[in-house]
Amino acid sequence: MLKVLNVVGARPNFMKVAPIVAAMKRRPSDFLPLIVHTGQHYDAAMSDAFFTDLNLPPPDIHLGVGSGSHAVQTAAVMERFEPVVLNEKPDWVLVVGDVNSTIACALVCVKLGVKVAHVEAGLRSRDRTMPEEINRLLTDQIADLLFTPSHDADENLLAEGIPRERIRFVGNVMIDSLQKNLNVARALPTREQLGLAGTDYALLTLHRPSNVDMRDSFDRILDALEAISTRLPIVFPVHPRTKKTIAELGLSDRVESIKELRIVDPLGYLDFLNLSSSARLVLTDSGGIQEETTALGIPCITLRENTERPITVEMGTNVVVGTDTQKIITAATAALNGSAKTALRQPPLWDGHTSERILDALEEFAAAQ
């Protein structure tokens, strides 16, 4: 029996951990899963809603860390996580993704000699100004077992000197959640409630500091949105960071003046999937949404200069356009005229069974030690 501490911290972690914990609960004689929530995200809309939507059991341990600078947040997670690991003595700690909670918990484990597995390992944007890139690089250097979603990730890890025997290509665990929940999400009245039934619409998310913390990039994106919104409404569930910076940068009037930019509160997992699965196009700076739109076959315009998920461009529906106003408008026009890329095929092992492969590898690796 393997006791596993599954760490969640921020919104993009929940849909990765939920299928893994569910798979562990289906194998109770092999796995004892506990959920540790660092509290990096704490608003009901950024956290609780995802536990409900994804049937994720409530956290066994909540560290209540909250917001802060990178150093403050990372240090607080480390300080509060260390006694939990000492007390629980897990066989494995499982961290996912690339948020501050991921590196903080991995670092605690390696110093204590507790085995740590990283799900979604090996992704690289090669942009070290992104906090997530630093979190990815460092977590992968210290984790014992690295679960990759695509072969480019294996290659990145090998090039960084990670021994092949620590790398397992298992596919994309987010797609386990997507496949399990798609029909339920589609049946919800989300579009009707937002007045979008039977209407073409675009869906927008924005929260990267490089886009929303600076006036120039935010202005360029807003210029593009203004133009696109003359063709169809754009639904914009606003991340708390973005809400704050819109006010701080004095952009509230500008945002409100774009009539068909429809601002809504952050959405839960199922409501968002309801909207993304029927959108004409999605504009985003999120990593996970690039993957979900590829799985759904929905055109995705990525408002960043790079992506750590190149497979979504090679095989999927994603185009990476940056924040140049004209490039965004051109990509949106292509999607609306039906000349956007379509998904060639699903990336290998994005098949809904990644969590089972992760469990098998955890057992196999532990048995071999």
Q: Which positions lie near ligand UD1, rule CB under 6 A?
A: 10-12, 40-43, 46, 67, 98-100, 131-132, 207, 239-241, 244
Question: Closest Cα to residue 140, out of 113, 174, 93, 107?
Answer: 107
Distance (Å, whole) CA 184 – CA 206: 26
**Which two three-digit tokens encode residue 338?**
């039906």
Measured from the CB atom, the residue of 38 and 229 that comes closer to ligand UD1 is 38
Measured from the CB atom, the residue of 37 and 207 that comes closer to ligand UD1 is 207
Distance (Å, whole) CA 91 – CA 366: 8
Nearest approach, Cβ of residue 97 and ligand UD1 (Å): 7
Measured from the CB atom, the residue of 139 and 354 that comes closer to ligand UD1 is 139
State the angle between helix axes of 354-368 and 11-25 in degrees (0 to 180), rounded to the nearest 10: 70
Nearest approach, Cβ of residue 68 and ligand UD1 (Å): 7
Which helix (H) or strand (E) is 161 found in, with range? none
Nearest approach, Cβ of residue 317 and ligand UD1 (Å): 20
Nearest approach, Cβ of residue 69 and ligand UD1 (Å): 8
Nearest approach, Cβ of residue 302 and ligand UD1 (Å): 13
CA angle 32, 12, 152 (to 5 degrees): 90
Distance (Å, whole) CA 303 – CA 359: 35
Is 151 one of the catalytic residues? no
Distances (CA, A) of 114 to 89, 106, 146, 355, 364: 8, 9, 15, 21, 17
Q: Which is catalytic among the residues 37, 41, 118, 207?
A: 207
Q: How many residues does the chain have?
A: 369
Measured from the CB atom, the residue of 44 and 158 that comes closer to ligand UD1 is 44
Measured from the CB atom, the residue of 57 and 64 that comes closer to ligand UD1 is 64
Q: Is 75 exposed, middle or buried (0-12, 13-18, 19+ CB in 10 A)?
A: middle
Distance (Å, whole) CA 102 – CA 299: 30
Task: Just list the catalytic residues.
Answer: 207
